[in-house]
A and B are shown apart, each in its own frame.
Chain A
Amino acid sequence: MNVILHRRYRFSASHRLHQPGWSAAENRRVYGKCANEHGHGHNYVLEVAVTGPVDPSTGMITNLADLDAFIERHVLVEFDHVYLNEQVPAFRSLVPTAENICRVVYDRLRAYPHARLASVGLEETGANSFEYAGEFREKP
């Protein structure tokens, strides 16, 4: 069987869904109140899944302290308590929908050296959740 470790993290951030190339009416039509000029915020839950062999000397796919430190340094420090559109460079030219946040986080976490990234999930609210598995699902 394959073994996959899942770990959940939290960050709170604001964003605005807005395409600068579109008219105000078009943005309003597509994004509704998410297009409001001053943005709004969420308590995001980020779910990171990694896979790989379990080291018999530790019983672990990866040491959680290493994973936590990597997520903190490469995602949470930059994403927590900020306005994503302005303060995370990737979202200056990319609408920070939950889908795009998943992909940006996935691309950052692919460099994790101690296990293979399986997927990145994001709960924007208790009712909306997203998952991106990149190449893992496409080329298992």
Chain B
Amino acid sequence: MVYLTRKVEFSASHLYHNPALSPEENRRIFGKCNNPHGHGHNYVLEVTIAGEPDPRTGMVLDLKELKDILQREILDRMDHRFLNYEVPELAGKIPTTETIAMAIWQLLEPRINHRGQGQLHRVRLYETPDLFVDCIRNGQ
């Protein structure tokens, strides 16, 4: 098994607010992330594909194809957006790093795994260099 990782960056804003909770409770749980005007990050996304290289090409999958999938599924949706309001997959959710990473996993998995070669192995999303979340295929 070979693991291939591609990295992309996007910049977006978000806020943490649960309408089922009181303003005080939101402030207590989410702190300054509850600022109603939101705030932003430069997110760094690393996507890892696991697979056996195709003997004809030596590739697990064509990087150009992965680049196009990431552009279409992630960057076109999330780059320079307010995640709470502009990304349907995050509507009604708290767009924490965990939540965004899981949404990215759900978006990418069907686009990558149907090809029969290479499986989505890990989505790693950095909100800052000191805070990041991994979604890893079960059993790994």
Interface residues of A (CB under 8 A from B): 1-9, 49, 54, 56-61, 63-65, 140
Contacts and interface: CB of A to CB of B under 8 A. Distances in A.
Interface of B: 16, 18, 20-21, 29-31, 93-99, 101-102, 105, 123, 129-140
B112 to A, nearest CB: 13
A121 to B, nearest CB: 12
Contacts, number: 67
A8 B136 contact: no
Contacts of A61: 98
A59 B129 contact: no
Contacts of B16: 58-59
Given A4-B134, A58-B29, 10 more contacts: A1-B105, A2-B138, A3-B98, A3-B135, A5-B132, A54-B98, A57-B18, A59-B16, A59-B96, A63-B29
A59 B131 contact: no
Given A3-B101, A6-B133, A7-B131, A59 B138 contact: no
A140 B99 CA distance: 23
A56 B21 CA distance: 13
Given A58-B18, A59-B16, A61-B98, A5 B133 contact: yes
